[in-house]
């Protein structure tokens, strides 16, 4: 693992264990009651898991935003295969974040989503490109992550649905799942993207071809 330690020194062994468990333990992701109370944009959640959903931006002054930034740069970027120093926010100030805080005792950041407004996407794997002139008509998923303790419970799908509900244009209808694009997705994110679009299809319609059959999903490039 690259970490130098002594098997004969208990403190070294404990530090080594913490190093390898840093992604699975909740200690590094815990938040205080003060951090929770100082975020203005939030709503309580009962399903799929009890918690609170917060909205943050690069201009937010809440300490929860700084906690999110620390979690992403110290843990998440590495876990999902990105460079550790990849910036959390874009240079134009357009990126928005949704943070799910589990209200277990003690509370901790259980998942988050970073969303960009994008206008050009591709239907994969065909690579067919589409362009929209209306900003906000496509949600670009820059990064999405769920803590290992809360995975396989539908939380990622729920956060994506919450983003469509909260970030759809005020003068339009709720954005369809086919309007959610994933930025340069890795293998796990591709699976999530395929399943997410698949669930959007009407399985009772004889004229609808399942995108899972073709492993279809919507993607966009960060570059």
State the pLDDT at residue 1.
58
pLDDT in tens, 106-131: 999 999 999 999 999 999 999 999 99
State the pLDDT at residue 205.
37
Scanning the structure block, which residue is given the tokens 């003060």? 34
42 versus 86: which is more confidently predicted?
A: 86
With b for 16 or more beta-carbon neighbours within 10 A and e for fewer, the 5-25 pattern comes to eeeeeeeeeeebeeeeeeeeb
Residue span of the structural domain in which 161 resides: 27-220
Examine the pLDDT at 164 and tell me if it is beyond 60.
yes
CATH number of domain containing 209: 3.40.630.30
State the pLDDT at residue 196.
95
Contact 214, 125 (CB under 8 A): yes
Structural domain contains residue 7: no
Structural domain contains residue 53: yes
How far is residue 221's CA from residue 69's CA, in Å, rounded to a whole number?
Answer: 22
Structural domain contains residue 141: yes
pLDDT in tens, 15-50: 545 554 555 677 888 988 888 877 766 788 777 899
Contact 146, 156 (CB under 8 A): yes
The domain total for the chain is 1
How far is residue 213's CA from residue 87's CA, in Å, rounded to a whole number?
Answer: 36
Whether this prediction's pTM lies above 0.85 is answered by no
């Amino acid at each position: 693992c690259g970490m130098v330690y002594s098997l004969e020194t208990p403190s070294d062994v404990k530090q080594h264990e913490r190093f390898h468990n840093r992604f699975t333990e909740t200690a590094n992701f815990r938040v205080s009651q003060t951090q929770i109370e100082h975020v203005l944009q939030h709503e309580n959640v009962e399903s799929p898991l009890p918690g609170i959903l917060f909205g943050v931006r690069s201009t937010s002054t809440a300490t929860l935003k700084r906690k999110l930034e620390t979690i992403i740069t110290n843990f998440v970027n590495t876990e999902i295969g990105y460079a550790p120093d990849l910036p959390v926010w874009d240079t134009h100030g357009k990126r928005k974040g949704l943070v799910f805080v589990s209200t277990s005792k003690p509370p901790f950041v259980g998942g988050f989503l970073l969303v960009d407004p994008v206008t050009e996407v591709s239907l994969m794997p065909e690579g067919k490109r589409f362009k929209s002139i209306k900003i906000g008509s496509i949600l670009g998923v820059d990064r999405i992550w769920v803590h290992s303790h809360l995975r396989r419970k539908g939380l990622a799908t729920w956060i994506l649905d919450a983003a469509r509900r909260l970030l759809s244009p005020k003068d339009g209808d709720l954005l369809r799942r086919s309007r959610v694009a994933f930025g340069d997705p890795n293998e796990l994110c591709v699976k999530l993207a395929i399943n997410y679009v698949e669930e959007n299809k009407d399985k009772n319609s004889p004229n609808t071809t399942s995108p899972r059959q073709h492993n279809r999903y919507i993607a966009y490039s960060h570059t």
